[in-house]
Amino acid sequence: MLSPDLIEEGSDVLVYIDPRRKWVTRVVKGKVFGSDRGTFRMDDVIGKPFGTSVNTSMNVRAYVLKPLLIDYIERGFERRTQVIYPKDAGFIALILGIGPGSRVLEAGIGSGFMCSVIANIVRPNGKVYAYEIRPEFAEIARKNLARLGLDKYVEIKIRDLREGVDEKDLDAAILDLPDPWDVLDVVYRALKPSAPAVFFLPTVSQVEKLLEAIERHGGFVDARCFEILLREYQLVRGAIRPHTTMVGHTGYIMFVRKVLKD
Residues in touch with ligand SAM (CB under 6 A): 81-84, 107-108, 110-114, 131-134, 137, 160-162, 176-177
Residues with Cβ within 8 Å of 11's Cβ and at least 6 positions away in sequence, in order, are 2, 3, 26, 27
Buried residues in 207-232 as b, exposed as e (16+ CB within 10 A):
beebeebbeeeebbeeeebeebeeee
Closer to ligand SAM by CB, 112 or 219: give it.
Answer: 112
Q: Which of 45, 117 has the CB closer to ligand SAM?
A: 117
**Residue closest to 247 by CA, chosen among 235, 234, 230:** 230
CA–CA dist 84, 29 (Å, integer) = 35
**Residue 158 identity (one-letter amino acid):** I
Q: How far is the CB of 36 from ligand SAM (least distance, A)?
A: 30
Q: How many helices (H) and strands (E) does the chain have?
A: 6, 15
CB 117 within 8 A of CB 146: no
Q: Which is nearer to ligand SAM, 131 or 255 (CB)?
A: 131
Give the number of residues written for the chain.
262
CB 147 within 8 A of CB 76: yes
Write down the least CB distance from residue 53 to ligand SAM, Å. 33
| Shortest reach from residue 156's CB to ligand SAM, in Å | 11
N-term to C-term CA, the chain: 53
CA angle, corner 92, sides to 247 and 248, nearest 5?
10
Toward ligand SAM, which CB reaches closer, 25 or 81?
81
Q: How far is the CB of 251 from ligand SAM (least distance, A)?
A: 9
Q: How far is the CB of 113 from ligand SAM (least distance, A)?
A: 3
CB of 26 to ligand SAM, least distance (A): 22
By 3-state DSSP, what share of the chain in percent is helix, strand and coil, each rounded to 5?
30, 30, 40
Q: Least distance (Å) from ligand SAM to the CB of residue 146?
A: 15
Supply the minimum distance, in Å, between the C-beta of residue 235 and ligand SAM: 28
Q: What is the CA radius of gyration of the chain?
A: 21
Q: Choose between 56 and 250: whose C-beta lies nearer to ligand SAM.
A: 250
By beta-carbon proximity to ligand SAM, the closer residue of 17 and 93 is 93
